[in-house]
Each structure stands twice: as structure tokens, then as C-alpha cells.
Amino acid sequence: MDTEIELKFLVSDNEVPLIPALITQFAKRVNNKPAKHLENAYYDTPSRELRALDIGLRTRCMDGDCEQTIKLAGEVIGGLHQRPEYNLPLKTKKPDLLAFDPAIWPMGMRLESVAENLFPIFSTNFIRRTWLIETEAGSLIEVVLDKGEVSASGKSEVISELEIELVEGERSDLFLLAEQLVSQIGVRLGFYSKAARGYRLADDNPLLPNSEIGFVSLSSDMNQEQAFIKSINYAIELVQKHEQCYVNEPSLKTLKRIIDGVRLIKHAFWLFEEFVTKETTDFLRKELKWLLGELDWVESAIYLKTYTSKRHAYYKRIHSAPELSHVIDDLKRVQPTKTDLEDLFHCPRYNKLLLSLTRWLVEKSWRQQWDQNAIKAAQSSVRSMAKKTFESEWKKLRNMYPEKTDMTVAGYVQTRPCIEEMLLSGSCFGALFNEESRLDFRAPWMDILSGIYELETLHYLKQLCEGQEEQPFSDILTWLQQKSDFLISAMDQSRHATVNCEPYW
């Protein structure tokens, strides 16, 4: 058995010629291997039993020689892929599951039944260039460039990937090479394997953005450190998935999910600060703040787009007031373009941030500052900690919403960070509690938070109009104020109903 430890990058045709020179600069020695044409077929049953177990079965033929490969469930952290891998020679192109050591299979797997029902699901066909490099520290790293396509059901997608795999030595050398690559050429960290892309094509199951931030998959027997690792990894996956979703099909709501992922990382640093000290996260916090700054226009842009949608209640009023329509159009014109966002996702600073998060998580760098109190906290029950966190946040929020006090725009805006914290904590810990009760509790608070975002946008439009002397702008200001008042009234109803409801924890 081998365990793959590799980082994957997506690379454009313009960057390919730069790769050999960069590798040579980094390496002590380079062995440039001949290019190979690889034809691969991936197999599963009609009901996708292997996929359900996160097992990949591939046959590969080259120059008349064939082999079969099993990749068992592993983990992906950022761009780092780690999976157990088994390879056996084949006399024909058809795989033979029964030839593998029976000990490798998960408990309860119906091996004979699966073996009888295998058929090819999709294929990959590409040219592979390979460099085996030795670093100054003595590590061996294999660098491969794959150019070709993945095909299934009459459809295909381009493969243009650069993979760097640790063959022998220190994992830190793998990250050093990765940092050099993202610093010098416009590559993106790749999250999805060829197999994942092939299954999506075969099953007509395109990559779609999440409708909301979702919940980290935790169990009540976990300790705090296990929950922390799960939370950070979930958040990194959220960012990387929606980065790819945006590249596939640009959408403001897809960018909002990236923001959610970044905020979730920052929030997890705060939640688990008993054993994750600020000293170990200073650089990451700074870079996460930078990324949020690059995307701080998104939430307002979502509402501006919504207001001008024909399905929105404001549409007719806005378009009957050309002056306001022009203000909104001007704001939309200065928003970053799809090209601007793709440049962000390819820039060195963004990819170095993802690499740094990945390395920090893989190496458990927060342990560097541990004392006995930190160890005790890390090993204590996450469920107990979740209840204490929820109680504290709930008390704080209720104090900000006195029952018989009228709320103003400023009053609601002031509560925004508190609501966001409570909802983010719910995303981290909510899976530990009853799903129905959890969703019922969160729904009105999500509505109130959405109302606050809208209030902020209405207030921003009012500010833009207040400097204008023409009569139409005076009428628009009156209308905007009416909309704010109506929105506050609706939010007050949600607030009164929610503050006295039974918490789900």
C-alpha cells in the first residue's frame, strides 16, 4: 500500500511553459521523464456502491501494459489530498477486485456482488509529463502535468492539472514547492479529483452552490480539538467549492458562500481560543481580513440586484424614478467584474492563504503554544462547550433586544455582529442537537439578519440621494424611508416572536 500525499493545482495553457524553469530553480536535482499517454477507465456498479464508500477503482493502460488501482477513503484538507492507494498489474483492461488483499475492504462490503456488477462509468485520456525532483533537504517530490479530458455520457471536460506528490521525505518541502509555484505562476489550488469530476459528468450532477452555509458534521462523543479540526476543514471546503462554482458560473450568492466560509474560519478561531492562541493565528487572521475586504461589496450588491429584479416588489417604483435607477446602475458598474474575481482566485496572496490554512491544519500548528490548560480544554467534551457558548450568546442577544423597546435602524444594525456570531456558532455546533428544533429556532433570526442587510442597503441609498437638491430625489428619500419603516415593523414582529422561544440546545 502507498499513501498519496499530494497537492493539486489547476493551470492555464499560458502558464504551462513556465513550469519546467520553476521546478529547476527549486530542486537540487531534476529527472525529466518522457511524456506518457495515459488512458484510464473508472468502474462502479449501477447503484454506485463504490462511490458511496468513497472508493475509487481505476484501470490504466499505457504502451500495452495495464494496471488496476484502488483508492480508499482518505481526506482532503485544502488542496492536500491523502488517500491509501493499492496497485496491481492486469492482463486485460477489465478490473479484478478479487485480486486485491481482502483485508483492505471496509467491513460489510459486498465484495462479490460489487465485482459482478462493475462497468465503466467514465474515462480520462491525457498526456502526462513527469519530473522527479530532489530537494536541498533530500526529499523526493514527483511533479506531474496532465493535459487532456475527462469524458462520460457523450460529454467531456478539459483536464489541465499540475500535481506535486511527496514520494519520500518531509511534507514541509511539498508546501515550500507549492508556495513557490503559487508565487510565480497563476495557478489555483484544485479541490476536486478527476474521479469526482467524472462522476459528476456521468451522473449529470453539476457542481451547484449551497443555498446556505450549512452545518459542520459533528458527533456528541467528539472532543473540542476534533470539533475544531472538523469546523476549519468544513469552512475551507466551503470556500474552495464555491470558488469553483463561481468560475463555472458567476453568481453573487456564490461569492456570499465564500464569505460565509471565511467568516466561519475566523469564528472557529474565536470559539476555540482556549487552545488556539492568537499568536498561532495572527498571520491567518490578517489574511482572512484582507480577503473579506476584497469581498465586502458583495452583500450590498446582492440587494441592489434584487431591487432591480422584475420579481421584486421595489422594481416598479425604482424604474419609475430614473434618478434612483441611475444611482443603482452607477453602483453596479463599479462592482468588480468576473475577470476581476478570477484574477483574485488566481493571485498569489489568495492561494498562499489557502496553502497556509491547509498546512496549519495538517500540522496542527496551534499545539505549539499549548500548556496544561490548553490540553485540558482541547480534550474536553464539545457538546458541553457548545451548550455554554449558546447560553452565553443567547443571553447577550436577548439583552440587546428588550421586549417593549422600539428598535431603530441604528439599533438593529448594532445587533448584526451578535446575530452573526450566534448563527455561526450554530453552524459549528448545531449538528449536535435536534435538527427540527434547530431549524425552527434559527429561521426567524436569519430573517432578521437578512432584514438588517437590507436596512443597511436602503440606508446607503438614502445617503447617496441626500446630497441631491432636485425634487425627484426628495420624493425618493420619502419612499426609501417608508420602506425602512415597513421593514423594521416586519422585523419587530419576528423579534417579539423569537426572543421568547425555547432554545434548541
Would you call 333 exposed, middle or buried from its count of C-beta atoms within 10 A (0-12, 13-18, 19+)?
exposed
Please give the backbone phi and psi of residue 146, each rounded to the nearest 5 degrees, phi first: -110, 125
Spatial CB neighbours of 250, under 8 Å, sequence gap ≥ 6:
338, 341
Would you call 187 exposed, middle or buried from its count of C-beta atoms within 10 A (0-12, 13-18, 19+)?
buried
Strands (E), 419-492: none
pLDDT tens-digit series, residues 301-356: 888 887 777 776 666 766 666 777 777 777 888 889 999 999 999 999 999 999 99
Q: Quick one: 224-499 is in which CATH superfamily?
A: CHAD domain (1.40.20.10)
Q: Are strands 56-62 and 140-152 parallel, antiparallel or unpaired?
A: unpaired
pLDDT tens-digit series, residues 357-407: 999 999 999 999 899 999 999 999 999 999 999 999 999 988 888 777 778
| Per-chain mean pLDDT for the chain | 90
Name the packing angle between helices 322-333 and 298-307 (round to 10°): 140
d(CA 263, CA 213): 10
pLDDT tens-digit series, residues 280-314: 999 999 999 999 999 999 988 888 887 777 776 66
d(CA 309, CA 368): 52
Say yes or no to pLDDT of 1 above 60: no
Check residue 28 and give its pLDDT: 87
Angle value at C-alpha 225, between 234 and 196, nearest 5 degrees: 25
Type of residue found at 446: M
d(CA 279, CA 371): 14
Q: Is there a contact between 215 and 381 (Cβ–Cβ < 8 Å)? A: no
Phi-psi region of 504 (alpha: psi -120 to 50; beta: other; left: phi over 0): alpha
CATH placement of domain 2-202: 2.40.320.10
Give the three-class secondary structure for 189.
Answer: strand
Q: Name which of 277, 282, 284 is nearest 370 in CA terms.
A: 277
Check residue 64 and give its pLDDT: 78
Give the three-class secondary structure for 418.
Answer: helix
- For residue 29, the cross-strand partners are 134
Residues of the chain with CATH 2.40.320.10: 2-202
Residue 288 is placed in which grid cell? 482572512
Check residue 473 and give its pLDDT: 72
d(CA 21, CA 31): 13
Type of residue found at 111: L
Question: Global pTM?
Answer: 0.90
Residues of the chain with CATH 1.40.20.10: 224-499
Q: Name which of 208, 228, 205 is nearest 218 in CA terms.
A: 228
Neighbours of 229 (CB within 10 A): 18
